[in-house]
Each structure stands twice: as C-alpha cells, then as structure tokens.
Structure 1
Amino acid sequence: MDIENLKEIIKLINDSNIRFFEFEEESTKIKISKDSIVEEKTNTVKEIEEVEDEIIKEETIEVIENENVKSENIKEILSPMVGTFYSALSPNDEPLVRVGDRVKKGDVVCIIEAMKVMNEIESDIDGVVKEVLVKNDEMVQYGEKIIRIEEC
C-alpha cells in the first residue's frame, strides 16, 4: 500500500462516523481509531515517519473544522452510503427541503438510491437548513457531506 492510498483511507475515516477501522493485506496491517491511529507496516522507518506527519496534519485539520462547526451550531448530514442523491420523492415533486426550511429530528431530508433501493435520509436534529451541498441526481460517496443544518 502506498502513502497516497493510506492518506485517502485516513481522510475517509476522518470524514465518517466510523470509530475504528482495521485493514490487512499481504505484509501490511493498518488499525485506525478516532482516539488513536496505529500502523504496523514492514517498510522503511522513513515512510512510517512521513505517514505519522500526515496523520498529525489530518488530525489538526479535523479539529479546526470541528471547532468551526461547533461555534456555528452547524450539523452536517453525511451520506451513509454510495449512491445517487435525490432531493425529492419523485421527479415531479418539490424538494423535501430547501435552504431556510425548518426540519425536526426524524424528518426525511433527501433520498439516496443505492442498488435500486430508495433510502430515506432523516435529520437527526431540529434546525434550519443552511446549505444543500449536493445537486439533484448527483452521485454521492460514503461519508460525503450532503446537507448542513443549523441546530435550534
């Protein structure tokens, strides 16, 4: 596994709700926890030090982003799966939410189609929609930010 792949894994874990991740392939074994990151790898010490430096940078960026979100009471809804984002229940319907709309915990805010199954995505807080980050009929990745809601 090269450094770029490892960086991508770290970014995906940081942007998700996953608390622990473990991966093993040939001579590489990686364990990642939100509280600490451990890597066992049979490569040079220099590569390990580069990865550790990158991990520190990624954690610093995450802390700064989280402080900004907390200070503004903004909650981001993340895509729980890979699929197609739909803002309405059907093509002729109005969007489920628009910027400025009030939502309650449990309200459906969008649909994500995955493998021909329509999955309703619900708000987990009461608040006001501040931003819809994805366009209708656009592909989303697991853990991708799709809607920002200001908690009220």
Structure 2
Amino acid sequence: MLKVQEIRELIKLVDQSSIDEFVYENEGSKIKMKKTAAATIVSQVSPAAVVQEIAPVVQPVPVTAASAPVHEAAQEATKAEEVKQADTANLHKITSPMVGTFYASPTPEADIYVKAGSKVSKDSIVCIVEAMKLFNEIEAEVNGEIVEVLAKNGQLVEYGQPLFLVKPE
C-alpha cells in the first residue's frame, strides 16, 4: 500500500504531465487517477474492495496581465502578507503532534474547546486530533489568548501543521 506522501507525489506528477488517466496496481491494491477540467481525482482500491476517495487537487493557474492596477494590487497583497508575518512572529503556534483529523469539540453536539479570543492556560485542551481511531487531546502549551484558529473542524492535519496562534501572556 502506498503512503499518503507517495500518493501526493503521484498526483503532482500526473497533474503536471499531459496524460489524462493513470492506473497503478501492486499487490492487490489499485490506484486510478483521472484528470478533469479543474481537478485530478484519485481513488484507491484495497484488496478488500474498499474505495477511498482522496480530495481533488486544484492548483491555481497563473494569470498574466500587463495592466498597472493589477501589478499594484499584487504589491499591496505582498505588503499585507509581510505585515501579517511580522504580526505572527511574536505569537506562539500550537502545532499538530501527528497526522490525523482535527476536531474542535469533544463530540459533534458539544461546544468547541476554544475560539479566537478565548483565554487558555498551558494545560488547557484546545482540540482533539484523531489518528487511527485514537482521540488525542491537544493542550495549549502556553498561557495566553487564542488569536486565530487555523484548522477547520474535520480537516485532515499534518505533523507540525499550525493549528492555533496564541498571544502569550
């Protein structure tokens, strides 16, 4: 069975190539990729005939224009991004300690653990990351205030991916 990173690399290669369809079979597993107009769709079939859909990969298409207003808007967006990076430099990032699914609350019916503006202590639970049916409570690591929630409920998160920005006290 291919690892997620290997599948992602295959998606990139297929997306960058001129082929429209790609099929890979190995030890009873089958991966089939088809390009559509806006996305590459990947499905994987395991020996037990379970189909697992992987979200479409949509990559932006660069648009070129020779107009001055577009160039100025791009410069302003770059400046805004630089200001945002400078503002977040003094913030603590709570990162995911593993690959898994981000959950903002202990159950779907329960209130979320924290939101922007919530005060947290270093042992406060801020979310759950579920990996292989194990629900791992993630703590704030610092005393402070949640400035921004960077992950969405139910989103797949990677190891080391920032989940929250916290203004330390």
Report the CA distance between 1:66 and its aligned residue. Answer: 8.6
Equivalent position of 1:93 in the other structure: 110
* Aligned partner (choices 94, 104, 115) of residue 77 of structure 1: 94
Distance in 2 between residues matched to 1:110 and 1:75, nearest whole Å: 16
- Highest Rg: 1 or 2? 2
Once residues 83 and 144 of structure 1 are traced to their aligned partners in structure 2, the CA distance between those partners, rounded to angstroms, is: 11
Counterpart of 2:127 in structure 1 is 110
More helix by share: 1
What TM-score does the superposition give when structure 1 sets the normalisation length?
0.54
1:150 aligns with 2:133: no
Distance 1:67 1:147 in 2: 16
Instruction: Tell me what 1:129 maps to.
Output: 146
**SS, match of residue 116 in structure 2:** coil
Distance in 2 (CA, whole Å) between partners of 1:128 and 1:67 is 18
Q: Whole-Å Cα distance in 2 between the matches of residues 67 and 100 of structure 1?
A: 20
Q: Structure 1 regions of 5+ residues with no counterpart? A: 1-64
Task: Quote the RMSD (CA, aligned, Å).
Answer: 2.2
Please state whether the residue corresponding to 2:128 is helix, strand or coil: strand
Count of residues in Structure 1 that have an aligned counterpart in Structure 2: 88
Matches within 5 A, 1:45-56: none
Runs of 4+ in structure 1 over 6 Å off: none
**Separation in 1 of the partners of 2:95 and 2:85?**
14
* Distance in 2 of aligned mates of 1:66 and 1:143: 18
Q: Which letter does structure 2 place at the counterpart of 1:100?
A: G
Q: Which runs of 5+ in 2 are unaligned?
A: 1-83
